[in-house]
Structure 1
Amino acid sequence: MPKQPYRFSYLLLTRLLLLWVSATFPAQAQSVYTQETALARDTVPSFKRHLPWLAAGAATVYVGGLVYLNHTWYEKEKTRFHWFNDSHEWKQLDKAGHFWGAFHESRLGADLLRKAGVSEKKAIWYGGALGFVLQTPIEYFDGRSPAYGASFTDIAANTAGSLAVIGQQLAWGELRVLPKYSFHRTPYAPLRPNVLGNGLSEEFLKDYNGHTYWLSVDLAKFLSPTSRFPKWLNPALGYGVEEMVFNDAAANRTLGLHAYRQYYLSVDLNWQAIHTRSKFLKSAFYVLSIFKFPAPALEYNGRQGWKMHGLYF
């Protein structure tokens, strides 16, 4: 049985926590000390006063969500802790989701600790572990469920997301490659709404056919400082799937569907390269940088070959 459906509550919880904290306390985008970040240090004492309350509130909501999830999904039937190999399922798009979530949670953790005045290395290592810490406890519940099992590959994807933040910060002192997410509605969710979602809000998290995960590259930071390449424009590589109503290929074929992979080349908007003094806009840009900006995209898949999208979500 696929694990995906009952993860909805947990994934929604962690994503909402991420967006709430990001919007409430805009963190510094980088650790490079510019005049703007120097001015931002003046806010550190104020932020330190709020940080314990913020951490306590977030921890309460998060732990409460885990308790609710355990009670709702797992309490009826439990077994001895065991492992399950799901590396072959859903064409690994769920692993991309784990990586994306862990990355941005770790990114936020490092930025918040840095803004609170924690030393640079501690902010990177302790904050950078946040994604792993938030995402991985669900594996314990999976391991106690007779229908599922803890997943090494889920834990590996969580770890990779956190390490991608830590590695970039240690190597460059900033983030130059960001995983991003985009979504479009598909005709497949109504074929299996209990798994792929019933309505837009559920499909946003559950319909893998409408999910695309991207790597958005801040190319300007790899080029010479004198380069005229626009700082607000990033090339982006994407990955998605289509015709995947059931994870099992035989079940898919009963609907006349054959799941296949999709690869994309597009451009993306680098929100945080847009200079503003507005705290509201800084918060908005920080949150928006989690998502891929709609743009033209070139697609390749093994079914149809090359395709051009005038505007791809």
Structure 2
Amino acid sequence: MKQAIRTVGLLLFCLLLLAQTVRAQVPLIGLATTAPADPGGIREGRFIGVIAGTAAFYTITLLMLRKQWYKKRVPFHSFNDNAEWLQMDKIGHATTAYCMSRGGYELMRWSGVDERASILTGGLLALLFQTTLEIYDGHSEGWGFSKGDMIANVAGTALFMGQQYGAGQQVVNLKYGFRKTIYPPFRPNLLGRTTGQQMLKDYNGQQYWLSVNLASVLPVGPAFPGWLNLDVGYSGSGMIGGHENPKVFDASGSEIKFNRHRQFFMSPDADLSRISTFSPSLQRFIGTVQFFKLPAPSLEFSRPNGFRFHPLILPKE
């Protein structure tokens, strides 16, 4: 549930970015490593709009969450959920924090704020949002403040800020993927009843990808496609409970047992923000909303199944 809340917040943040940044495309030639700086210093209209929109997003989202998910408050407390869901929740925290950091940065740059201030602002905005939710968790019955979650939030933010400060670009991105699984019908309240709910709740169907831009790390020439990435993915499967699976039975009363296991993937990908056939603003938007892994052939490894090749999308399991 907590990761679902953060994912909803991230999607709303992307919608805010879309409303602020999409403009007409400008034909250009060649490839861009990062979106070029918008000239002219701070653009007052854009800057005011971004500040107002971000403040409204933060306030409205937290008020809605407090009303819907944090109704019953208890004294502040912590709990350790680091062993749950084969650590899928922790990777989800890092991915969400990374994407929100990048979104805040791109909004600031689009507004004309200088590079270093934009990096710092993007990271602080992401940590502000994530930390507020963790404090809410600490006062929520059935949850608690999680040090593991906070470490993951900081790690995701640090991945963005460190690259942008050090390399001036995002050599490595974090992305999300999803496929339908057989597990939600066994615990629909926990794993989701509809596809939309399952995208947020079913950790068996989620994958998190570390996407590396090859032209940024290999000694290649100008003819090499600068948009080509190589992704390494992680997921878990066979999970119908956080720490362990409860007993479930089929129609005949026989117990069904699922093997909880980790899955690792490798797949090509594309960083569409590096194709400079769009305006700088649209490049920034594309770079931010590339939260989803593009369908592509992949190689999977897991202990139960060994190596498996998937031609395009990961199969339902």
What's the TM-score bracket when you normalise by the shorter of the two chains? 0.7 to 0.9
Residue 290 (str. 1) matches residue 300 (str. 2): no
Partners of 1:261 and 1:301 within 8 A in 2: yes
Deviation string 1:77-121 (CA, Å, 9 cap, x unpaired) is x32211100000011101111111110111121222223232322
SS in 2 for 1:181: strand
The two structures, once aligned, show a CA RMSD in angstroms of 2.6
Partners of 1:142 and 1:149 within 8 A in 2: yes
The 5 A counterparts of 1:204-283 are 204-224=199-219, 226=221, 228-251=223-246, 255-278=256-279, 282=283
Return the match for 2:14 from 18, 40, 44. Answer: 18
What is the CA–CA distance in structure 2 between the aligned matches of 1:153 and 1:267, rounded to whole Å?
A: 30
Residue 53 (str. 1) matches residue 52 (str. 2): no
* 1:81/1:233 CA distance change after superposition, 3 Å: same
What is the CA–CA distance in structure 1 between the aligned matches of 2:220 and 2:100, rounded to whole Å?
A: 30
Q: Report the counterpart of residue 112 of structure 1 in structure 2.
A: 107
* 1:35/1:203 CA distance change after superposition, 3 Å: closer
What is the CA–CA distance in structure 2 between the aligned matches of 1:224 and 1:36, rounded to whole Å?
A: 22
Tell me which amino acid in the other structure corresponds to 1:171: G
What is the CA–CA distance in structure 2 between the aligned matches of 1:250 and 1:97, rounded to whole Å?
A: 21
Q: Report the counterpart of residue 41 of structure 1 in structure 2.
A: 39
Q: Report the counterpart of residue 69 of structure 1 in structure 2.
A: 65
Partners of 2:94 and 2:152 within 8 A in 1: yes
SS in 2 for 1:186: coil
State the identity %.
36
SS in 2 for 1:235: strand
Partners of 1:132 and 1:158 within 8 A in 2: yes
Residue 83 (str. 1) matches residue 83 (str. 2): no
Shift of 1:122: 1.7
Deviation string 1:154-198 (CA, Å, 9 cap, x unpaired) is 111111111111110121111100001111111212221211112
Shift of 1:301: 0.5
What is the CA–CA distance in structure 2 between the aligned matches of 1:312 and 1:179, rounded to whole Å?
A: 18
Give the ranges of 4+ consecutive aligned residues of structure 1 lying more than 6 Å apart after TM superposition.
Answer: 33-36
Partners of 1:190 and 1:198 within 8 A in 2: yes
* 1:89/1:97 CA distance change after superposition, 3 Å: same
Tell me which amino acid in the other structure corresponds to 2:239: M
Q: Report the counterpart of residue 100 of structure 1 in structure 2.
A: 95
The 5 A counterparts of 1:141-180 are 141-180=136-175
Q: How many residues align?
A: 300
Which structure has more relative contact order (CA 8 Å, sep 6+)? It is 2
My pick for the range that moved more, 297-306 or 186-195, is 186-195
Tell me which amino acid in the other structure corresponds to 1:60: A
My pick for the range that moved more, 193-202 or 16-25, is 16-25
Q: Report the counterpart of residue 30 of structure 1 in structure 2.
A: none
Report the TM-score when normalising by structure 1: 0.86
Tell me which amino acid in the other structure corresponds to 2:178: F
Report the TM-score when normalising by structure 2: 0.85
- Structure 1 unmatched runs, 5+: 28-32
The 5 A counterparts of 1:120-159 are 120-159=115-154
